[in-house]
Every structure is written in structure tokens, then in C-alpha cells.
Amino acid sequence: MNYNTKSRIAALVAVPALLFTAACGSDSDAQKADVAKVTGKFGAAPEISIPKDAEPADKTVIETVSEGDGATVKKGDFVRLDWTVEKWKGAESLGGTWTQQTPGAKGPRRQAVERVGQPSQQLPEKILNAVVDRKAGSRVLVQGTAGDLIGQTLNPQSGLTAEDSLVWVVDVVAAASVDPKAEAKGQQAPTAAGMPEVKAPSQAAATITVPKGEKAPTTLKEQVLIKGTGPKVQAGQGLIAQYTGVKWEDGKKFDSSWDHGGATAFQIGSGSVVEGWDKGLVGKNVGDRVLLVIPPSLGYGANPSSELAKNTLVFSVDILGTV
């Protein structure tokens, strides 16, 4: 449930599903082509140096700048990433996670949390796929034309042409393999008085029944229905979950991960999702099933253009893992 996440590359990409045509280069290609130089330690903002008076390689190049020692990323894995992108000509920065922290803001810096092989809100498909077979802790450079890396959905209002060369640097902060059909296991506790009832059939969206005659609470309400035994969720981690959400006012479902192929992931505790999720899920355990009742002030109340701005939101969330 990533409704509150802003698109980090909206200026470049018109929609998240991206198309490309050119073949991808290999690590060995970097030895034959003019490529940008990347310096700086993993975990800190990289410095990208464009060779003076040099022409960029005429094909896409993927290069492991530094190799980590974590789990090897496979297609279908969940990953947490830092990234930045620059335009070759003029060395113009076009965005990234390193600049997302609001000055003076507290808490973790926002990072990208994605499932490799699935459409991304932040990264072109070819950039995300470049982390496959890399180890967590690795820094990867991807260089190529906007036409190749972004494809037919290159936003014409970005000022870029298909021939413009771009340099991306991606840090694979963490990776995890979780079955997208996984769900919380264990005996579910009865819901507390005044709380919605949750029935969660296996491999399907939960049925959430709002109590009749009860006024919507004005503060966050939460209850752990199934107690997991995994580690506690920490702010800044990517949280992998199944969820179903309904509106308190009419009890109608408005979304569920089960309607989108199963488990999804998002960064928690960084303002990337609604505040009620950040407050209600940080500190819970992997394996928990959590019932959340979120008033508009902690939901979409601050976004009047949202269809859910005036609604109290009720969620059943299965915490499957972290990344």
C-alpha cells in the first residue's frame, strides 16, 4: 500500500511500465567504452565524474562498481535500493534517493523498495533488472541512452531526447526472498470490542466487517490478531506484507495486495506511506497479523485530492518479512 509515495522520477518517466529495445551490455563492455567514473563508499552518496570531452558509449553498459557480500539478488526478490541519475551532457543531476530527505526532517531517509521483475514507481525496468545476480551491498553503474533505458514512455516534458545519455548509480542496500503468496500463520485472536471483525481466508483478500452503530475513532487503533515470532520491524526497513483495506464508512474494500498478485513491499517509518502505517507497524514482529483503524488525519486527510481523504481506513496487514 504505497499510495503516499511520490514518484521520484516523474519528470523522466510517463508511466511505470517501461519498454526498451536495445540489447544490454555486460561488465566487460565497460572496458571498451567511454563510461562515467564513480567514486565514494557504498552507503554514501556517490560522486559521478563524466570524462572530459569524451563521447558516451553507444550501447548500454552495466558495471559493478563495488561488490557486496550479501545475498545474491534473484528475479522476484524484494530489494531496498539507493539510486541517483545524471545526464551525461552537462553532468546534470536528475534526481535520486540521496536528495529526498527534507531539510531538518527526522527519521530514515526515503529509499526505493521494489520487487525485481515487477513494475516500479521509481525506476525504469532495465535499471531495476540490473541488480539481478548482484549481491546485497553492491554498487552498480548503468549507462545508456534515455531511449534504451527508459524507452517508449520517456516523458516528452522532461526535456530529454531518446539520444541523451544517462548515468545511473544503484546501491543494493538489502535483498530478501519471500513467497508472494505467503500469509501470517497461527491462531487468530478475537477482535476487541468496538473493533472491526476480520476473517482472512487462505490465499484471498480478508473480509473486514465494521461494527454497526459504532462511530469511527478519531485516533489510531491497533490490535495484533496473530502474534509472530520474527524480528521487530525497524523504521527505514522495507516491509513485505499482504494487506486488505476497507472504508469504515461503508465497509467497502478499496484495495488488497491479493488483487495485485500477492505480497507487496514499501519502506516503513520514513513517510513513504500513510502516517497510520508508520505509527502502527514499526515495532511489530515479522509474522504478525495487525488490525489498524486509521483516522483521516493519519491517512489521506492531508491530501484533499485523494478519494479517501475523508475516510477512516481499516486494514488487516500480514507482516511477512523485511528487507
pLDDT score of 1: 59
* C-alpha span between 320 and 276 (Å, rounded): 19
Cα–Cα distance measured from residue 158 to residue 137, given in angstroms and rounded to the nearest whole number? 31
CA dist 17 and 8 (Å) reads: 15
* Residue 165 near residue 143 (C-beta atoms within 8 A): yes
pLDDT in tens, 114-167: 999 999 978 999 999 999 999 999 999 999 999 999 988 788 888 899 999 999
Query: Which residues, at least 6 apart from 85, have a Cβ–Cβ distance to it below 8 Å?
Result: 9, 12, 93, 94, 95, 96, 166, 167, 168, 169
Predicted pLDDT of residue 5: 36
Q: List, for residues 74-106, the tens digit of each pLDDT value.
A: 999 999 999 999 999 988 889 999 986 655 667
Q: Residue 251: left if φ>0, alpha if ψ -120 to 50, beta else—which one?
A: left
Give the angle 259-260-262 at the CA atoms, nearest 5°.
90
pLDDT of 90: 85
Q: What is the structure's pLDDT at 102? A: 58
pLDDT the model gives residue 104: 60
pTM of the model: 0.87
Q: Which three cell numbers stand for residue 232?
A: 521487530
Q: Cell 527526522: give the residue.
A: 106
Q: Which residues of the chain have pLDDT under 70?
A: 1-33, 100-105
Round to whole Å and give the CA distance between 240 and 265. 4
- What pLDDT was estimated at residue 51? 86
pLDDT attached to residue 56 = 93
Residue 322 confidence (pLDDT): 98
Give me the pLDDT at residue 2, please. 52
